[in-house]
Amino acid sequence: MTTLGTLYLVPNTLGSQTREVQIPWVIPSNVAGRVAELQFWIVENAKTARAFLSAVNQITPLAFPLQDIQMQEWRGAKSNIAPESLLKDLLLGRHVGLLSEAGLPAVADPGAEIVALAHRHHIQVQPLVGPSSLMMALMASGMNGQRFMFHGYLAIKIPDRIEELRLLEQQSKKLHMTQLWIETPYRNASMLKTILQSLSPNTTLCLAIDLSLPTETILRKTIQQWQKMLTSSELDPLNLDKRPAVFLLSAEP
């Protein structure tokens, strides 16, 4: 009987620039060592995954040349392959790394479906330590870390988005709950504008931008304070539409 391989959940950096500088800062050396040993991978994008491994190689030499490392791409519903087919190496006893484009795999990431399948096939799943923008943002916000909820992406259409934001505000006020969500960077400024037009002046909003990167910016203000800041054009240098951000909301009773 063939011994099953282990599915390693491999953390990525939170930005694609200067990964070789970021890796020692956000990924423990023993994790980088484990990453360097793996020959088989499930990734969102093979090109960027190889760039990540190339950066790892500058810190911990890879056990296999990059050209010998095998990668299967998985983008969830956008993929044209059956997810079960990605388990073939694991079922043959080979260890496989699962890599997200940024941060932790399977968290706000299509890799969750692969992890669920691995469990169904009794394949060992081992999460490796690395950066989580959501937890870093929550830590830095000073908002309630005992009760919080992550909502992924909110509605795109403005009327639906306003309705959803107001519901999150009501839930936060009623349950003393921190609300977290993310947005595609090119819609960040639009999201902020909708927030400032829709929520109570006393509600608190925190923006955690470029976490773990040299350009990291964390700003916590009431809606009223944000409105004054936006009016004074001080937000322009933030280039919100080009930078990954986590939005956090807290509405006090």
Q: pLDDT tens, 122-139? A: 999 999 999 999 999 999
80 with 154, same domain?
no
**Which of 59-63, 171-175, 237-241 is predicted with the least confidence, judged by mean pLDDT?**
237-241
**pLDDT, greater one: 239 or 125:** 125
| Res. 236: pLDDT tops 70 | no
What's the whole-number average pLDDT of the chain? 93
Question: Which domain-ending residue is among 89, 107, 127?
Answer: 127
- Domain assignment of residue 202, given as a range: 133-250
Q: What is the dihedral of CA 112, 114, 115, 118, to 10 degrees?
A: 160
Residue 73 lies in a domain: yes
117 with 219, same domain?
no
C-alpha 154/C-alpha 75 separation (Å) is 20
141 with 53, same domain?
no
**Which of 8-17, 109-118, 168-177, 232-241 is predicted with the least confidence, judged by mean pLDDT?**
232-241
pLDDT of residue 234: 56
| Res. 228: pLDDT tops 90 | no
Residue 80 lies in a domain: yes
Question: Which domain-ending residue is among 89, 109, 127?
Answer: 127
106 with 142, same domain?
no
pLDDT of residue 207: 97
First to last CA, the chain: 60
Q: How many CB atoms lie within 10 A of CB 121?
A: 12
Residue indicated by tokens 């090119």:
186
Residue 1 lies in a domain: no
12 pLDDT band (50/70/90 cuts)? Answer: very high
16 with 73, same domain?
yes
Whether the CA torsion 160, 163, 164, 165 is positive or negative: it is positive
142 with 82, same domain?
no
| Res. 81: pLDDT tops 90 | no
230 pLDDT band (50/70/90 cuts)? Answer: confident
110 with 203, same domain?
no
139 with 193, same domain?
yes
140 with 108, same domain?
no
Residue 244 lies in a domain: yes
C-alpha 135/C-alpha 145 separation (Å) is 9
Residue 31 lies in a domain: yes
CATH number at residue 195: 3.30.950.10
10 with 93, same domain?
yes
Interval 30-54: pLDDT, tens: 999 999 999 999 999 999 999 999 9
123 with 236, same domain?
no
Question: Which domain-ending residue is among 59, 92, 127?
Answer: 127
105 with 156, same domain?
no
Residue 137 lies in a domain: yes
| Res. 1: pLDDT tops 80 | no
Nearest of 191, 167, 195 to residue 244 by alpha carbon: 191
C-alpha 169/C-alpha 198 separation (Å) is 10
| Res. 99: pLDDT tops 60 | yes
- Number of separate domains in the chain: 2
CATH number at residue 99: 3.40.1010.10
pTM: 0.90
| Res. 237: pLDDT tops 60 | no
| Res. 113: pLDDT tops 90 | yes
